[in-house]
Amino acid sequence: MAQALHKTARAADIIEQLERELEASTPATLSLYYRLKLREIAMRLVSTADKSPAAERSLDMQATLDVLTDFRSNLSRRRKNNDELTADRLSALPEPSRSIVFSQIAYTFRDAIDDFTQIDFSNKEHVEFLKLALDHCVLHLGKEAGRPINKPLDRFFHDLTDLYTAVTGTQAVAGAHYNNQPKTHFERLMYLGYQLIRPAQEYPSALKAYERALSRKS
């Protein structure tokens, strides 16, 4: 409960900063309509970002990647090959790690055996095949887990860009700076919005996320 209250209070503080920054970007008084619109897109990001399928898939994929990476490391550290121990450890892997690695084993061993019963993990060549299968699993999962699309964040950036243009009558532009800090009104708006869900990240990370969002919109 305390953590949830802290998160809500932090979001409210950032939204107030967003309003002040948007008002500072135009010589005119910021209308109630635009204030409410800004609050709407900010609160939608807060309420939907953690529930997005991409975020959930990323967490699941990272957990699977961690399991298989640990298994591969343990296998590499062994000084003696043991068929029974290795087979037991493979069977004890949690799902979906077990299904993924068994499928890759079947593919890697396809030309060396006729069925699984011929696999012998006391055989050095078969252990090397297993390591190769694990390497493929880890490489593939690493790519998949690397950078999932966060659709709520993309939508926030798109809506913020449109709102800034409507309020100021100028194009929203964000760029990198030597001190890695936001410089313009829009850059500060973009970074504040990013901090609603990524409070520990610096401006360059926000800029990369914004640029990726724009590239996916075009």
Neighbours of 151 (CB within 10 A): 16
Residue 3: its pLDDT value, please? 47
101 with 90: CB under 8 angstroms?
Answer: yes
Predicted TM-score of the model (pTM): 0.57
pLDDT in tens, the chain (218 residues): 444 444 667 888 999 999 999 999 988 888 999 999 999 999 999 888 655 555 545 556 777 878 888 888 888 888 888 888 988 998 888 888 888 888 888 888 888 887 778 888 888 999 898 889 888 888 877 765 555 567 889 999 999 999 999 999 999 999 999 999 999 999 999 999 999 988 888 999 899 989 989 988 75
Torsion of CA 172, 174, 179, 183, to 10 degrees: 0
The pLDDT assigned to 1 comes to 46
Per-residue pLDDT tens digits for 49-72 = 655 555 545 556 777 878 888 888
pLDDT at 5: 45
What pLDDT is stored for residue 2 in this prediction? 45
**Among the listed residues 11, 2, 19, 20, the one whose alpha carbon sits nearest the alpha carbon of residue 46:** 11
Tokens of 176: 């990198």
State how far the Cα of 120 lies from the Cα of 24, in Å rounded to an integer: 70
CA end-to-end distance (rounded Å), the chain = 41
* Predicted pLDDT at 52: 52
Q: Find out whether 138 and 69 touch, Cβ atoms under 8 Å.
A: yes
pLDDT of residue 117: 82
Select from 144, 152, 145 the least CA-distant residue to 197.
152
Q: How far, in Å, CA of 133 to CA of 86, rounded?
A: 14
Q: What's the pLDDT at 165?
A: 96
Q: Which pLDDT score, from 0 to 100, does residue 7 have?
A: 62
Burial class (CB in 10 A: 0-12, 13-18, 19+), 127: buried
Closest CA to 36 of 159, 194, 212: 159
